[in-house]
Structure 1
Amino acid sequence: MTKPQITSDEQAELARALLDALNPLASAVRARATGQPEHRMWDADPAEVALGVLAAWKVVDAEVKRLTEIAAGTAGGYGASYEQLGAAWGITRQGARKKWPDAVPRPSAAAPRPVILELFDGEAELSQDPVTGHWTWTAQAADGSRGTPAPDAVPCTSREEAAAYAGAYLREFAAASRA
């Protein structure tokens, strides 16, 4: 991606729009700082007025940084790399990583290997979804029946919870095979 260029007319329009947006903010910031009404902002020492405008630009600068972080995170969330973020901002890949360390999601660690549970002459496999982190199970009971959680079941948040459900299933159908 090449660095965006704007024309001198676009730059002048941008400056006008920013100044139009800044004036009420500068008046409000100065009024709070001095206790004077906003309409009297310009009735002061020119250095004080200029300092009030500078303080307002600081607020704008912080907001632009915040919005920039959101835009970088959004681009990273949609698959942009640090190299692409850096190119868009005119900095290196390393510079982009330093500027927005959380913008590009890190690859998640591989899901743990499935756990095999042998109970009541049956077998269950417990596995974790790498995206949600929820645990699920599949089982083959002693009577040969196969079971999984019901489609509307509440997801298991731990391996132990999934093991409890799988164990209950294996126990139920082991008892059925003995009867």
Structure 2
Amino acid sequence: MTSSEITPEEQTELDKALYDALHPLASALRSRASGLPADRMWEADPVEVALSVLAAWKAVDAEVKRLTAVAAGTAGAYGASYEQLGAVWGITRQGARKKWPDAVSRPAARAAQPSAALELCGGVAELRQDPASGGWTWTGRGADGTHGPADDDTRYATKEEAAAHAGAFLKEHALGRP
């Protein structure tokens, strides 16, 4: 068994957790479709009840696909390659690139935006991308005059992550802050 395979015990726990999560959604779908109150919503043709459960699984499947793409994008933002994404998913590098086309940053895209400015709460921060690592840093001055980090060791995987940290600093150093 590889580290990404789950044990039979983990499979049992996963099944239980998924069924527990699915039940309220299936119940809500069944109740809306049948117009019956919650205590009678399952009193219908078994085919209709089974189709309600299938519809709930479809919603779960769509959400799992969305969350999977987010996880692939996060891994790619931190430097994972399509080869690594494919290996984890059990597909080829090309399959991973096709499945998550925007998950891995290409070097040309990195060079396209080496810096950006952020103005918030009366302060300003500059976001900069390190061309060597592709990581993002920020420096800023709050409205109260406080200068904020540019720790040479701190790098953020994405511009958005650096902006979030810079934005929190600017908010903390806004004038008139309680």
Report the TM-score range of the alignment, normalised by the length of the smaller protein: 0.5 to 0.7
CA change 1:23–1:66 in 2 (3 A) is: same
Shift of 1:133: 6.3
TM-score by length of 2: 0.60
Counterparts of 1:130 and 1:63, CA distance in 2: 31
Counterparts of 1:22 and 1:80, CA distance in 2: 32
* Residue 50 (str. 1) matches residue 50 (str. 2): yes
Shift of 1:29: 1.2
2:114 equivalent among 117, 131, 134: 131
Name the residue aligned to 2:103. 103
CA change 1:75–1:44 in 2 (3 A) is: same
Name the residue aligned to 2:60. 60
- Bigger CA radius of gyration: 1
Shift of 1:23: 0.5
Aligned 8 A contact 2:79 2:104 in 1: yes
Shift of 1:38: 2.9
Q: Deviations over 1:145-179 (max 9, x none)?
A: xxxxxx97xxxxxxxxxxxxxxxxxxxxxxxxxxx
Moved beyond 6 Å, runs of 4+: none
Q: Deviations over 1:93-142 (max 9, x none)?
A: 0000000000001212696xxxxxxxxxxxxxxxxx851268xxxxxxxx
Aligned 8 A contact 1:3 1:88 in 2: no
Superposition RMSD on alpha carbons, in Å? Answer: 2.3
Name the residue aligned to 1:76. 76
Name the residue aligned to 1:91. 91
TM-score by length of 1: 0.60
- Structure 1 gaps of 5+ residues are 112-128, 135-150, 153-179
**Aligned length in residues:** 118
Aligned 8 A contact 1:3 1:87 in 2: no
Counterparts of 2:109 and 2:10, CA distance in 1: 46
Q: Secondary structure of 1:44's partner?
A: coil
Counterparts of 1:24 and 1:65, CA distance in 2: 20
- Superposed, 1:6-21 pairs within 5 Å as 6-21=6-21
Counterparts of 1:110 and 1:3, CA distance in 2: 32
Q: Deviations over 1:14-71 (max 9, x none)?
A: 1011101111110011122222223323211111111000000000000000000000
- Superposed, 1:97-176 pairs within 5 Å as 97-108=97-108, 130-132=113-115
Aligned 8 A contact 1:22 1:56 in 2: yes
Q: Percent identity?
A: 70
